Amino acid sequence: MHAEVSNVSKSRLLSWLVGIGLVLQGAATVWPTLTHQTIPEWLSTRKLPALPLISIGGDTVGWFSVTVGMGILATLIAQGWRHGQTPVNVHRADQDSLAMLQDEVATLRTAVAERDALRSALKDTQRERERLRGLLGDAEQRELTCKRGLGEARLRWFAERARMNIEHHRSVDPSVKDIRVTVRFAVYADLPLAQEIQKILKDTTNWKIELDGSNKPTLLPDNKGFKVVFDVGAFRTFDEVAAAFNDGRLVDARLGARCTDRFEETEHLIIEVLPTP
């Protein structure tokens, strides 16, 4: 692109020089014919300061030719300086391409900056999530401990109230029996759960508790998904026990309750650990 501009400038300068030279030569040739005087004779009649004359092609030219030549030379020097100072224009298509690339670079830089900001925010969010998960785990554990304590307290309260009622009724009817509990299970895999229930009742009550793995009558899976079922008796005597186990989450199993017509065994609580389907 620089070479093309430089060549065009040189061609224009050469054209100007040739044209000016032809004009001067023509003027020197035609002037005597028109004025019947040579250029020096004509200048002498104008009372202009005399200058040394210069011979061009056999003709004598005075200070006018010198002045014109110097002006042309000064013009050419000025034009050459301006061409040297003027920046080379870039092709319009190249300018458009450059502008598009600059816009693309700016867009990509913005996208990268936004991505980095999002990555930093994501890391902060993940750290905050892990912190909150830790706090949630601690809170859930404290909640479970509190519920378990309340459930065990309810069992102790119910056992003490039942003891007082039995003693009161026994003062009138000595045949009143103490509360007893049977924990039934059908498969050996459910023995740990049955033992856990037995231990909880032993720690919170003074009842007699037995484990029964004979599976007679046969225990079947519950169609509602209950793993442990409390048979609370005909008069729902042991509803409070079932509620204490459930609300206190004393065992990790789904609990249910039902009442059967066992009018002759109102003091007998039966807890069934049903087989898993």
Nearest to 210 by CA among 183, 236, 232, 185: 183
> Could you tell me the pTM of the whole model?
0.57
**Residue 108, CB-side half-sphere exposure with 13 Å CA sphere:** 6
Strands of 228-231's sheet in order across: 208-212, 180-185, 268-273, 228-231, 255-258
Whole-number pLDDT of residue 32: 60
Convert the pLDDT of each residue in 166-217 to its tens digit: 999 999 999 999 999 999 999 999 999 999 999 999 999 999 999 999 999 9
Instruction: Provide the pLDDT confidence category of residue 54 given band limits of 50, 70 and 90.
Output: very low
Whole-number pLDDT of residue 15: 60
**Residue 271, CB-side half-sphere exposure with 13 Å CA sphere:** 26
Whole-number pLDDT of residue 131: 92
136-152 average pLDDT score: 93
pLDDT at 76 over 90: no
Nearest to 179 by CA among 202, 205, 207: 207
Whole-number pLDDT of residue 209: 96
Q: How far apart are CA 202 and CA 209, in angstroms?
A: 7
Instruction: Provide the pLDDT confidence category of residue 40 given band limits of 50, 70 and 90.
Output: low
**Cβ contact 127:119 at 8 Å:** no
- Judging by DSSP bridges, how do beta strands 228-231 and 255-258 pair with one another? parallel
Whole-number pLDDT of residue 93: 75
Cis, peptide link before residue 40, omega less than 30° from 0: no
pLDDT at 232 over 70: yes
Cα dihedral across residues 235, 237, 242, 244: positive or negative = positive
pLDDT at 10 over 70: no
Convert the pLDDT of each residue in 241-258 to its tens digit: 999 999 999 999 999 999
Whole-number pLDDT of residue 7: 53
Q: Residue-wise over 120-145: b if at least 16 C-beta within 10 A, else e? A: eeeeeeeeeeeeeeeeeeeeeeeeee
Nearest to 64 by CA among 27, 93, 35: 27
Domain boundaries, the chain: 2-88, 96-277
Tell me which of 84 and 275 has the higher pLDDT: 275
**Cβ-count burial of 256 within 10 angstroms (0-12 exposed, 13-18 middle, 19+ buried)?**
middle
22-30 average pLDDT score: 59
pLDDT at 78 over 60: no
CB within 8 Å of 268: residues ≥ 6 apart: 179, 180, 181, 182, 233, 262
pLDDT at 153 over 60: yes
- Determine which of 26-30, 105-109, 264-268 has the lowest per-residue pLDDT on average: 26-30
